[in-house]
Amino acid sequence: MKNKGILIVISGPSGAGKGTVCKQLLDNNTYWLSVSATTRTSRTGEEEGKSYYFLTKEEFNTKIEQGDFLEYAENYGNMYGTPRSKVMEKLDEGQVVILEIDIQGALKVKESFPDGIFIFLLPPSMEELKHRIINRASETPESLMTRFKSAYKEINYISKYNYAVINDTVDSAVAKVESIITAENCRVDRMKEKILDSKEGLIHEQLYD
């Protein structure tokens, strides 16, 4: 029997700092980041299979029909999706697979992947979230208010997640996510497989008689 990896879904409202946390998490560890497929054209510097898998609309639709997306959505006329086959391949290799995704996407992934570990990244406070949205956006006050309201509303979905991590500093948020992954690897259900895999016949025989 093969050790299976863990799917770690890092999600949260826009402005929570998902991108920064995931970047440092991947710099520190040998986790594998799931790469999205998209129908939009590639920009300068973007690499096929690293930034995105660039697909034609026909290719994308075929994959939808084949059920090869854990989730997909349209954004400004372009399609974006998480390829199931790639994720499954890495999980079968026993890897930790990181999926950085918005809340709607995470909820869809959870439907087909309830065993994934869903981490909700929170800004240090709603005030801070407000600042981050203001600093980042070049929008009208009206559209800003829409984004605040949407962020507030989205936080209600936290109850669908396994863990919540407050992104007060990137270092501490990353350390917490690393601890969550270590702890999940120690769960008895996962350990059982490892123990079965080991050559310690005595444990093997005695543990499951």
Task: Report the C-alpha gap between 151 and 190 in whole angstroms.
Answer: 35
Task: Report the C-alpha gap between 116 and 124 in whole angstroms.
Answer: 25
Nearer to a copy of itself, 66 or 104 (CB): 104
183 binds a copy of itself (CB under 8 A): yes
Residue 209 in 3-state DSSP? coil
Query: Judged by CB under 8 A, which of 30, 56, 135, 182 binds a copy of itself?
Result: 182
31 binds a copy of itself (CB under 8 A): no
Task: Report the C-alpha gap between 161 and 102 in whole angstroms.
Answer: 13
Per CB under 8 A, contacts with a copy of itself among 185-204 are 186-188, 191-192, 195, 198, 200, 202-203
Nearer to a copy of itself, 1 or 202 (CB): 202
Contacts of 89 (CB under 8 A, 6+ apart): none
Q: How buried is residue 22: exposed, middle or buried, by Cβ count under 10 Å (0-12/13-18/19+)? A: buried
Binding site for a copy of itself (CB under 8 A): 119-120, 122, 125-127, 152-153, 155-156, 158-159, 161-165, 175-176, 178-180, 182-184, 186-188, 191-192, 195, 198, 200, 202-203, 206-207, 209
